[in-house]
Amino acid sequence: MFILGALLGPVADDVQEYFFKAREFFTRVVGLRYEERFREAALLAPGMPVVLVREPENKVDPSAVAVLSPWGTCLGYLRAPLASVISSRCEDGETFFACVAAILGAEYDPNERLHLKVRSGPPEGKIIMLKFLETTNGAPEGLASPGLS
């Protein structure tokens, strides 16, 4: 917030307050440069749903919100200040849904490539339930849609 305040002055508080109230907004995903997650992000297309998962057991940041692909791969995270706001709103009973808004090319920094549209409230369109199939050693083998396997 300090850097944001230095750049925007008194308007910085309004920006942070916006995320406490907004029903819909756009944001980017960070952490795509790790484990070559940007390669997974390249498989996405605008409009595809992604899954937002709170990680209260995350030792680095208990307010962390991971972004998963439709097939369950971790793509990265929402920025920490935004994740904190979303976690707080979830604790108050809100739900959030996201879809891919834009994917930028390789000429951009990996943390600038994946942009999401995030919305509070019920999801648009169909909900597809996914579950992990377990192997004999208990490790996830893949994803299946109930009733389709």
The mean pLDDT value of the chain amounts to: 76
pLDDT of res. 123: 55
Please count the other Cβ atoms lying within 10 Å of the Cβ belonging to residue 31: 20
Ranges of residues in the chain with a pLDDT under 50 are 1-8, 11-12, 125-135, 137-149
Task: Annotate 53-84 with b (16+ C-beta within 10 A) or e (fewer).
Answer: ebbeeeeeeebbbbbbbbeeebbbbbeeebbb
pLDDT of res. 3: 43
**pTM tops 0.85, yes or no:** no
Q: Are 109 and 29 in contact (CB under 8 A)?
A: no
pLDDT of res. 120: 87
Mind listing the pLDDT tens digit for each residue in 38-65? 888 888 999 999 999 988 888 999 889 9
The two three-digit tokens of residue 143, written as one number: 């994803």
pLDDT of res. 10: 55
pLDDT of res. 13: 53
% of the chain beyond a pLDDT of 70? 68
pLDDT of res. 138: 47
pLDDT of res. 52: 92
pLDDT of res. 145: 40
Instruction: Give the domains, in start order, of the chain with CATH numbers.
Output: 23-144 (3.30.70.2330)
As a whole number of angstroms, the distance between CA 101 and CA 119 comes to 12
Q: Are 75 and 87 in contact (CB under 8 A)?
A: no
